[in-house]
Amino acid sequence: MEFLYKLGLCSQLGFTRSMRWGKKLGEDPKLFIKDLQFEEVPVRIYQPRAPSAGRRRGVIYFHGGGWIFGSINSYEPLCRYIARESESVVMSVEYRLAPEHTYPTQYEDCLTATTHFMKTAEDYGVDPACIIISGDSAGGNLAAAVCQTLVSRPDLPKVHAQVLIYPCLQAIDFNLPAYQQNCGVPLLFRERMAFYVLQYLKGDASCLEDVLEGSHMPVDIKLKFRKWLSADNIPKEFKVRGYKPKVPIECSNEVYEEVKKCCEPAFSPLLAEDAVVCQLPESFILTCEHDVLRDDALLYKKRLEDGGVPVTWYHIENGFHGIISLFDCGRLSFPAGKKGLDNIVNFLRSV
């Protein structure tokens, strides 16, 4: 990679993207597949070919990749599988990527595509009252943020359900038990997660050490969110592998000014007000034990349940971040990942 960069053939980011971009597959005997643009946002629609007695459910999918990688091509196998197995119409969204485009661009692209799809659902054989918003990792962050925004949109149908697959839901605390226990576990290291967050937030990682240490947030801000963002709200069984509470430390105003937008619920959905959370739709949350983002999802699960929202939780005890996307990767696939994906499909079929 370094050799290619020195030759000027491509940057490290560009090379990594090209390796992970994926390619559009050929025709699918069970699906009609269309590439469209919804208000200048590229999307791909997967529609089952088989006749349906009525309108189908619609599944909106936001891909993962730390807001800087991923594409509708790289998630083509997963979206095809969901469409075929759940007999749903799936819309995959090609939102713009960081660092070229920073927050809130990705969120706005996803919101734009979602609202357009909801308004035109019947054109694709979808029941507007049965639309599910979903995503994994960074896409799970975007799915949660879009769902929260749509709570205050009476002009649109209510979202029927949300599916959050090991989502990133906050950028305040990178020292939760899961971050400490799994800091060096592939496919997502603790330092790399903080790097992705900063690229999404502001296009560079100049505050990386501050974010990792927790010195990017004033103590009073941390105390404000402590009722929602605290290791005390994580079940004891998730701390047995080790956890050392971090003593709050002060930050400089300069650093806080650079990163303060990460306190916005559209960036950190875990920090949304109770009045919003209690209006969210039925939810499916998937977590992996060996994943730095495990506790983000556990804390959000508690908030949803405390708000009276029905939650189906599936935990992969021997799972790691990204395991679902590997379901069809031959020797790199894991039975636990395929089982997790089938649980998602079963949830979709049940709502």
Q: How is residue 315 written in tokens?
A: 């935990």
**CB atoms < 10 A from the CB of 347, how many?**
20
Concatenated DSSP letters of 227-243: TTS-GGGS-GGGTTT--
The dihedral built from the CA positions of residue 178, 183, 189 and 195, taken in this order, carries a sign that is positive
The dihedral built from the CA positions of residue 206, 101, 65 and 88, taken in this order, carries a sign that is positive
Rounded Cα–Cα distance for residues 272 and 282 (Å): 17
Q: Which of 134, 295, 321, 325 is catalytic?
A: 321
Q: Which of 291, 295, 296, 325 is catalytic?
A: 291
180 near 244, Cβ under 8 Å? yes
**What SS3 string covers 83-131?**
HHHHCCEEEEECCCCCCCCCCCHHHHHHHHHHHHHHHCHHHHCEEEEEE
HSE toward the beta carbon, residue 240, CA cutoff 13 A? 5
Give the three-class secondary structure for 194: helix
Is 315 among the residues known to form the active site?
no
Rounded Cα–Cα distance for residues 124 and 111 (Å): 18
Q: Which of 71, 92, 134, 137 is catalytic?
A: 137
Peptide bond into 99 cis (omega under 30): yes
Give the three-class secondary structure for 265: coil
Is 123 among the residues known to form the active site?
no
Q: How many residues does the chain have?
A: 351
Is 116 among the residues known to form the active site?
no
Residues 6 or more apart whose CB falls under 8 angstroms from that of 287 comprise: 166, 293, 294, 297, 298, 313, 314, 315, 316, 319
Q: Which residues are catalytic?
A: 137, 291, 321
